[in-house]
Amino acid sequence: MRIKIGEVVTAMVTPFDDNLEIDCAAAEKLANHLAENGTDAILIAGTTGESPTLTHEEELEVFRAVKNAVGDKAKLMLGAGSNSTQTAVGMSKKAEEAGADAILSVVPYYNKPSQKGLIGHFSQIARATELPVMLYNIPGRTGINMLPDTMAELADKHENIAAVKQSNPDLDLVTEISMKTPDNFLVYSGDDSLTLPMLALGGYGVVSVASHLAGKQIKQMIKGFKQGNVTEARQIQHKLYPLFKSLFMAPNPTPLKAALQEINLVKENVRPPLVTISEEQKTKLREVLNLTHAA
């Protein structure tokens, strides 16, 4: 099963009003903006969407609002993972019921299971839904790294384990994943700055933060590389690199929300324990936005 969600997946922020409640109207406005500016698929309730401070009911509320807003203009994914297998299975079923096109399922965090435990965890999820499953490997947040052999075993056993969001800067692992998994298993970069090098090693696309601001340029970079216009792709990478890095000058998504406030799309409000970025950081961010013409 190939995951048919396109090359540019935007991990959408969750807009909050001044009372830190979900702002569905802002979510709908933002989702439409993304669908019209290079985004192929929208991921709701990922890390950029502040999933750690959302209830499952809120995650589904945002999903329904976005689905209502964009219709068939973009594919929709829901972050349905958990460090509890039972919870992840339940959310995967709810995502399917809500009409998701795919789910993102993170490697269990904090309890640090073995590779055998990961196979059991994701096998239960795969059996619980017919949706394509994108694994999410992000050792910096979960404390463990899912190995290429583990991904290969899961992809061989379960047709709907169809992709991975690889948020690990070790590019050798991308080569190993590409070599060991089936041809229709897709590797997405989980870091904007690593999209281009991952494409060269067998990657397919990106689950992006910067696509909120530069979706068309990121899409053109991927298209250019795949069409053999490597110089053009590298030029776009160089142009956007300051933006990629500035969006992580503070914990994600605090710089991104500040940038989105600059262009009147979303308020910068974030839920604790996150805090908004400083005025000094905002000044630096504005300089980068002007430099890249992202705003």
Pick from 62, 20, 23: nearest CA to 271: 20
| Cα dihedral sign, 106-103-243-146 | positive
Give the position of tokens 């958990």. Answer: 82
Pick from 96, 107, 91, 109: nearest CA to 45: 91
| C-alpha angle 122-6-65 in degrees, rounded to nearest 5 | 80
120 close to 86: Cβ distance less than 8 angstroms: no
**Looking at 67, 75, 94, 136, which residue is catalytic?**
136
The reply to whether 136 belongs to the active site is yes
Buried b (16+ CB within 10 A) or exposed e, 249-287: bbebbbbbbbbbebeebbbbbbeeebebbeeebbeebee
Give the position of tokens 């948020």. Answer: 167
- Token readout for 133 is 């499953």
Q: State the helix-helix crossing angle for 254-262 and 279-292, rounded to 10 degrees.
A: 60
**Looking at 165, 188, 204, 257, which residue is catalytic?**
165
Residues labelled catalytic: 136, 165
